[in-house]
Structure 1
Amino acid sequence: MSNNAGKLYLCATPIGNLEDITLRVLRVLKEVDLIAAEDTRHTRKLLSHYDIHIPLTSYHRHNIEEKSQFLLTKLLAGEHIALVSDAGMPGISDPGEEMVALAIENGIEVIPLPGASAVIAALVISGFSTRSFMFAGFLPASKKARRDRLIELKKQTETLVFYEAPHRITEMLQDVMHCLGDRRISLSRELTKKFEQTVRGTASEAINSLKTDRPRGEFTVVVEGAGESESGEVADLWGDMTIAEHVELFLLQGLDRKEALKRVAVLRGIPKKEVYSHYVQSKENLLR
């Protein structure tokens, strides 16, 4: 650690209700030399509410490279900086990890100030196992990439937690049904706010609820982990199907060979080259 350098504080901010901020975060926000915020307009409202008048600078995904160097210069000069996102802990599906890595690389002390978290809040009220869970963040925007990612997660026995935007939530749940089956889920939105809501049931039931209740606000989706039949080493879902037959099944469903090989490799948890070898060998046997 550099003796004369300042400290970088990662400050968790409210995910909705302004009262969900810690006394420690408030103290640090009043004591630092500069606050780096994802959206200065949003953060200014929070600071105004608590009568905090520390200089602000923007730090968002479009200026990360430039601003990271700017903040590093300040830190090396001895200034203390608080990094905040619009909601929750910076660095979790929000800007922050790049700045943390740069600070560590340059011997800057990084101090986390924990607080509100949509992931934890939605998880503990889901009713699913909290002994082990996996936060998968936002799924890809495109249907193909989103389904590929869900297929990769199909065998995970841990409870799964995702973030999703309102304009994609219905498609996302449809893909959950397609790739994971009609699993039990817990769908939370507007957490800690006036119109906080959590819907529990199967994926299909959640989709139906969204038909009568227009999606608004960012969603936190908690999905029950895979059961034994889905997480077993050879996936009981395929019974006595050979690897080559499994590939043929996907080909019949309209996938090209490359995609079919990839899907089988992911679902069975084996290397793609092994799937390819079995498939080619099967074809050669047919020609003999």
Structure 2
Amino acid sequence: MATSDQLLVVIDPVARHCDGESVRIAKDVLSAGATAKVCLPEGPEEFARALERRGARRPVVVGDDHALLRTVSLLHRRRELAATGLSLVPVGGGLSLARSLGVPTGAVAAARAVLDGVERRMDLLVDDSDGVVLGTLRIPSVPLVPLQRDGAADGREASPVGPWLRVRQSLARTLAARPARPAHRPGPGSSRLRVEVDGITLVDLDRPVEGVCVTPGDPGVAEVEVRPVSVGAEAAPLSASGRRVTVSGAHFRYQADSVVSGPVRTRTWVVCEGAWGLTLPVAGGAAGP
């Protein structure tokens, strides 16, 4: 047993509706190997209350990436994350974060890892609004915008009635047999951002960028890559590593793991080394299905 044999198994409602069979298998394996209290919260408030009342039990989340993010965020805000080892049985549609962290995605293998695995301490990115990032942080360029059609370039809707409707229907039939053309054009300008790593400017507002990516690096360090806008030949990415990353400039949105936030004018993320623990299979151990 990795830590405590007293488990609090919190089953996310999305997992129950998405894949009830995998949920049943996970419950059976966990209950056979440990003393497990199973909670079936119906929403975020019940989910939070179940974690709050866990006592000495080790929390096991059965759910997707969003359920894991919700759990880490709750424990971080309560300042209980460092002292609470987490386990995850991934069930649901969005499991890319779970895979990247090394959690088996089969119900049996993941449940066995909960029972027989070991806790691995991981870094956490924490921003100045107390938000957390477990994996990758992305700041995309200005999104593509739909082309205006039917004379609506000024933002007003064209009239849908009268002979125009027949003309559009005929045109649609004519174009149906033709190869489709992109329905988007580049947005009005590129992102102009200042990116600083440990107080040193990696790129400034005078150089437009296509995107920024922040990923976990060595313990206590984040890897930052900035892709400048290409003019002629493809521009080489700019990279740096450090503990503190600040992005500022025009209003921008950012994607932390799978959650999009913003817009904001400035945001700072700091690497918290070994801030949380996740139970993973023992290296070289049999964690197969």
TM over 0.5: no
Q: Report the structure, 1 or 2, having the larger strand content.
A: 2
- When normalised by structure 1's length, the TM-score is 0.28
TM value normalised by structure 2: 0.28
More helix per residue: 1 or 2? 1
